[in-house]
Each structure stands twice: as structure tokens, then as C-alpha cells.
Amino acid sequence: MTTVTLVRGDITRESVDAIVNAANSSLLGGGGVDGAIHRRGGPAILEECRKLRASRYGKGLATGQAVATTAGDLDARWVIHTVGPVWSAAEDRSELLASCYRESLRVADELGARTVAFPAVSTGIYGWPLDDGARIAVETVRAADTAVEEVRFVLFDDRAHETFVHRLGHR
């Protein structure tokens, strides 16, 4: 049974087995959560990302997929990088966003992670409407078949936090 918890704050300050990064396909860093994770986690994370690009992920990580690296100086054992879809009004990419949560939990299971912190993937620079992003996040995690004991959503501001509180109240 997975417990879902909510925290308002900076995901790079969390103590968990794995911190999920809202990355991009290049795996080589960016703004938002990604920038914060690389800044606070230090160069070891980028070094492993470069190795992934030089080996298995020559073309980058596809949208909806997830891959793990060290967590460097963060208070976690791993960072799980996932690539959310860019929001599109013309095309329904919900399944790709759900896949980010499912695949991240699958990687967490492979690693043996029991506590996993997620940001609200795609709801920043990638423009996904917060309420819908929260719905997909909560529904997907609740439906997942995983040995992860705690999924902690870490929301950066009051609005995002309240949106997730509201979503978690809906069954």
C-alpha cells in the first residue's frame, strides 16, 4: 500500500530514497526543478547524465520515460530523471504525463527505493495546466502497482500545494 503525502517546498531539500527530476530529453540540465537539482546536487549528477547520453541514450531520453543516476550531494540515494510532455491544446498528451509517474515508480522499484519525492511534472516551463497535472499525478500514483511505500509530492508554491490537497481529497 503506497501512502501519498504532500509537502510545500523545494524538492532539493527533501530526504528520501529517490528524488524525481522534471528533466528534458537532453538530460543535460535546464531551468526549474532540473536547474535546482543540478545546482544543489553538484557535478556528479551531470557527469552520470553525460555517460547515459554517450551510451544507452545517444538520442536522449524519450518523453514519458525515466532513468536513474546518483543523487550527488542531495539527501537521497538516486535522482530519477523523467521527461514530461510539453502541454498542447491541440493534442491530448495525458498518457505521456501519466507514463512519467508510472515509469519513475518502475525505476524506483528496480532500485529498491521505498520513498520517492515527485515534483508536479510538466506544470512549469512545459505549461501543463496545474489542476489537470495534479489530477494525472494523483490518479496515476494511486493506480500504480509498486513497492514504493511513500510517494511525496513536493509543491513549490501555495497554489500548487492547494491544488494537490484538493485533488487528493477526490476519490
Which residues of the chain form contacts with ligand AR6 (CB under 6 A)?
10-12, 22-24, 30-34, 36, 84, 119-126, 154, 156, 160
**How far apart are alpha carbons 102 and 84 in whole angstroms?**
12
Catalytic residue (choose from 17, 34, 75, 131): 34
Taking the complex as a whole, how short is the minimal distance between the CB of residue 83 and ligand AR6, in angstroms?
Answer: 8
* 34 noted as active-site residue: yes
Nearer to ligand AR6, 75 or 147 (CB): 75
Taking the complex as a whole, how short is the minimal distance between the CB of residue 35 and ligand AR6, in angstroms?
Answer: 6
Nearer to ligand AR6, 40 or 106 (CB): 40
N-terminal to C-terminal alpha carbon distance within the chain: 16
Taking the complex as a whole, how short is the minimal distance between the CB of residue 93 and ligand AR6, in angstroms?
Answer: 12
Nearer to ligand AR6, 112 or 128 (CB): 128
Taking the complex as a whole, how short is the minimal distance between the CB of residue 123 and ligand AR6, in angstroms?
Answer: 4
Nearer to ligand AR6, 36 or 44 (CB): 36
Residue 10 near residue 36 (C-beta atoms within 8 A): yes
- What phi and psi, each to the nearest 5 degrees, are found at residue 22? -85, 85
Residue 66 near residue 80 (C-beta atoms within 8 A): yes
Q: Residue 127: left if φ>0, alpha if ψ -120 to 50, beta else—which one?
A: left
Which positions are annotated as active-site residues?
34
